[in-house]
Amino acid sequence: MKEQPAKERPAKERPVEEPLARGAVVRGAEGLAAAVAALRAGECVGMPTETVYGLAADALDERAVARVFEAKGRPHFDPLIVHVAPEHDPRRWVALTPTAERLIEALWPGPLTLLVPKRDVISDLVTSGHPTVALRCPAHPAAQALLRAFGGPLVAPSANPFGRISPTTAEAVRAGLGARVALVLDGGACAVGLESTIVDATAPWPSLPVLRLGGVPPEALEALGARLSYPTPLIGQAPGTLKNHYAPRKPLYLVEGALPARVAGAAAEAAYLAWGALPEGARGEVLAPSGGSVEGAARLFAAMRALDDSPAPHIIAELPPPGGLGLAIADRLRRAASGFARWGGGGGAPPEG
């Protein structure tokens, strides 16, 4: 009797992987690989950093850079920051000045951006036509992993619609940009919570013009022996230096001095952004219960976003004390503000522009 041939077992069907929806939040090694693939395809990707989430794209691909401006609705006269990994040699793309080399040695990776002369490989679109480019090496491990895996520099302005509150979580990026971004790499909440400090590293040391206050406090620069100045940047000279920026949808009004101890009537209808404690009768967010500027900076944009989503008609914000990151927090609030609150007797009055 002939032996019957064994029946072939049908191959197991492999599940078909559905493509990621645009704007999806991704994590881990698979998320990193998807982000790299999207960047290599000329797409924009939400990238976590220690400052805020950035809208990353290939810094050497002019079409990809143009997509960043389009996705944000960003005017072309507001330049972009180029991000590099610690392993990269930035001399491939920029000329490092002695001042830049000194600051890189002391404060990179971290929330410090250096304005340095660019090489021709960096498009004028990145720099708004200026001969200098803003350069940073982020400290966030997910940002470094993405830059390392991609193998080149990435532009990455804040991943939000232009002029609005900067995102400090992946969900904030998704909510703000949606399908305008290919995907968002989740790296958790941003530890610093403020954009980077920008300095003009073309100046001869120890002179150091500060073009934007940010995540590195002035005291840290002065400790290196720098003599700081605070010139008004030329239009298009440095990113994020426009007069009106970082704004919520609701009007935000600043308080000169401390908030009142108690609010009532029309003043109690506002949402309050307090530094150390809320007034009696007020609803809102406290930035720094312990009084520290690092804590306040890390909470700033998330607190502003929460108040912007509240039913209150407007936001009233208390300026922080100077020192540490206090000046940078005050800078963001002033740029976001519509005016100042004017307090009347008996618990206050509605704000005025």
The DSSP result for 177-234, as a single string, is HGGGSSEEE---S-SS-SPPEEEETTSPTTEEEEEE--SS-HHHHHTTT-EEE-PPPP
Residue (of 255, 285, 249, 250) closest to 267 by Cα position: 255
End-to-end CA distance of the chain: give it in Å, rounded: 100
Handedness of CA 240, 242, 247, 252 (dihedral sign): positive
Strand partners, 56: 45
For the chain, how big is the Rg over CA atoms in Å? Answer: 23
Q: pLDDT tens digits for 101-160?
A: 999 999 999 999 999 999 999 999 999 999 999 999 999 999 999 999 999 999 999 999
The DSSP-derived string for 3-37 is PPPPPPPPPPPPPPPPPPPTTEEE-HHHHHHHHHH
DSSP state of 273: E
Residue (of 249, 243, 239, 240) closest to 304 by Cα position: 249
Q: State the average pLDDT for the chain.
A: 92
**In angstroms, rounded to a whole number, what is the distance separating the alpha carbons of residues 222 and 24?**
42
**In angstroms, rounded to a whole number, what is the distance separating the alpha carbons of residues 150 and 144?**
10
Q: Please, what are the domains in the chain?
A: 24-229 (3.90.870.10), 252-340 (no CATH)
Coil, strand, or helix at residue 90?
helix
Burial label for 352, CB within 10 Å (0-12, 13-18, 19+), is exposed
Coil, strand, or helix at residue 126?
helix
CA-angle at 243, arms to 241 and 249, nearest 5°: 110
Q: What is the pLDDT along the chain (353 residues), one digit of tens a residue?
A: 444 554 444 444 444 456 789 999 999 999 999 999 999 999 999 999 999 999 999 999 999 999 999 999 999 999 999 999 999 999 999 999 999 999 999 999 999 999 999 999 999 999 999 999 999 999 999 999 999 999 999 999 999 999 999 999 999 999 999 999 999 999 999 999 999 999 999 999 999 999 999 999 999 999 999 999 999 988 789 998 888 889 999 999 999 888 999 999 989 999 999 999 999 999 999 999 998 999 999 999 999 999 999 999 999 999 999 999 999 999 999 999 999 987 654 444 445 55
**In angstroms, rounded to a whole number, what is the distance separating the alpha carbons of residues 51 and 187?**
12
DSSP state of 288: -
Q: How many CB atoms lie within 10 A of CB 314?
A: 17
